[in-house]
Chain A
Amino acid sequence: EADIYQTPRYLVIGTGKKITLECSQTMGHDKMYWYQQDPGMELHLIHYSYGVNSTEKGDLSSESTVSRIRTEHFPLTLESARPSHTSQYLCASSEVSTYEQYFGPGTRLTVT
């Protein structure tokens, strides 16, 4: 079983608040990813990282930002939450030269 953790699992927050979604993995994987997924819908890649100090934007434009200061940690930040940010956010990781991605359980974010 993959050791990738996301906190919080559920978050309800008001418009305009700054939030940080946490993602940590204990597998030593260099690559990490953030996906946005509406319930039962396709996954949209919003950010990824090849390793420490590396961050890239994904296919879906996002107002969020990420950082990668430590290998095991890949937090996602929304400076000013809006109702349009309401979604599920999934974190994943993989080794650099392999295909398989391991997903965390997700954070379900609701912005009121």
Chain B
Amino acid sequence: QQQVKQSPQSLIVQKGGISIINCAYENTAFDYFPWYQQFPGKGPALLIAIRPDVSEKKEGRFTISFNKSAKQFSLHIMDSQPGDSATYFCAASMNSGYSTLTFGKGTMLLVSP
């Protein structure tokens, strides 16, 4: 049973475009929703995270949109750059961090020059 479903599996965006990756979750007890970015040969690194008490969080070109009623959240990358080409993972956790992270299957993003 996959508790966090991520789509699309891969995405190609032109430089300057908007990249959008979506995730849906099932467990309403989740209270923390991070996005991780992973470059080839590296471990994932936290990019941005949101709690369910807000609907949107923005950090630079990266924005998380959160829809609690639909149990969905998405990552938007504005003005996508070739350096953003990486694999992106959404995740979810609960219990103030005492539980583990549940990851989505990942989205491989390629930003073409």
Contact = CB atoms under 8 A, between A and B. Distances in A.
Given A40-B106, A42-B103, A90-B43, A97 B96 contact: yes
Contacts of A94: 97
Contacts of A33: 100
A105 B93 CA distance: 22
Contact of A42 (B34, B93, B96, B104): B104
A74 interface: no
Interface stretch (B13-21, B44-52, B63-71, B77-85): B44-52
Given A42-B89, A58-B100, A97-B98, A105 B42 contact: yes
Contacts of B106: 40-42
B83 to A, nearest CB: 17
Interface residues of A, number: 26
Interface residues of B, number: 23
A58 B41 CA distance: 23
A43 B44 contact: yes
A97 to B, nearest CB: 5
Interface in B9-64: 32, 34, 36, 41-46, 49
B43 A105 contact: yes
Contacts of A48: 100
Interface string B85-104: 00101000100111011011
A92 B43 contact: yes
Interface string A39-69: 0111101001000000000110000000000
B103 A43 contact: yes
Interface string A16-44: 00000000000000000100000011110
Contacts of A98: 97
Contacts of A4: 43
19 contacts: A2-B45, A33-B100, A40-B87, A40-B108, A41-B105, A42-B89, A42-B103, A43-B44, A58-B100, A92-B43, A94-B97, A97-B98, A99-B32, A102-B46, A103-B44, A103-B45, A105-B43, A106-B41, A106-B43
